[in-house]
Amino acid sequence: MWKGPIVEEVRKHHLEIEAKCEHDFDKLFEKAIQTQTKLAKRLISKPAAKLQPEPTISESRS
């Protein structure tokens, strides 16, 4: 298991949030969705990767 000050801080906050949600996954999930919605403008999405077309049979033979 990873150890370090940042990891320990994240775990501490996770446990605090989990306790506030009474260790109920449905409540935890709802809180996550609410937070995501509230902070949507601050979230960064990774752009979709550009897919390369697969070579056709004739291209692969040359």
Q: Across residues 8-17, what is the average pLDDT?
A: 95
Q: What's the pLDDT at 8?
A: 95
Closest CA to 27 of 36, 13, 17: 17
Q: What's the pLDDT at 53?
A: 78
Per-domain boundaries in the chain: 1-43
Largest CA distance in the chain: 63
Residue 62, pLDDT > 80, answer no
- Residue 23 CA to residue 31 CA, distance in Å, equals 12
CA-CA-CA-CA torsion sign (16, 20, 22, 24): negative
Q: What's the pLDDT at 16?
A: 96
pLDDT tens digits along 13-61: 999 999 999 999 999 999 999 999 999 888 777 777 787 777 777 655 5
pTM of the model: 0.56
